[in-house]
Structure 1
Amino acid sequence: MDHKPHLAEPRGPHAIAACTPAQTPTTMTLFWGSILAVILLLTPAFAQTASQPIPENASAKSYGDGWECNIGFRLNEDTCVAIVVPQNAYDTNRSYGAGWECLHGFRRTDDAACVVVEVPEGGFLDPSGERWRCLRGFNKVDDTCQEIVLPANAYLADASYGSMWTCERGFEATDDRCTAIAVPANAYLNGSGYGQPWTCERGFFERAGLCEAVVIPANAYFDDASYGSGWKCDRGYAASAETCELLSVPENAHLDRSGNRWECNNSFQKSKGLCVLKN
Structure 2
Amino acid sequence: MNTDHQALLATLREEDANVIGSWLDEAHITDSGARRAAQTEAADILRQLSEGLQAGGDTARFEAPAWAGLRETLGALSRTRAAKGQSAADTSLFVLALKKPLFAAIQRRLGTDSAAMAASLWALSTTVDTLAQHTVGTYQLAREEIIRRQQEELLELSTPVVKLWEGVLAVPMIGVLDSGRTQMVMEALLQTIVETGSEIAIIDITGVPTVDTLVAQHLLKTVTAIRLMGADCIISGIRPQIAQTIVHLGIDLQGVQTKATLADALSLALKQSGWRVSRVANEA
Q: Could you tell me the TM-score, scaled by structure 1's length?
A: 0.21
Which structure has more relative contact order (CA 8 Å, sep 6+)? It is: 2
Q: Could you tell me the TM-score, scaled by structure 2's length?
A: 0.21
Q: Which has the higher strand share?
A: 1
Larger Rg: 1
Q: Which has the higher helix share?
A: 2
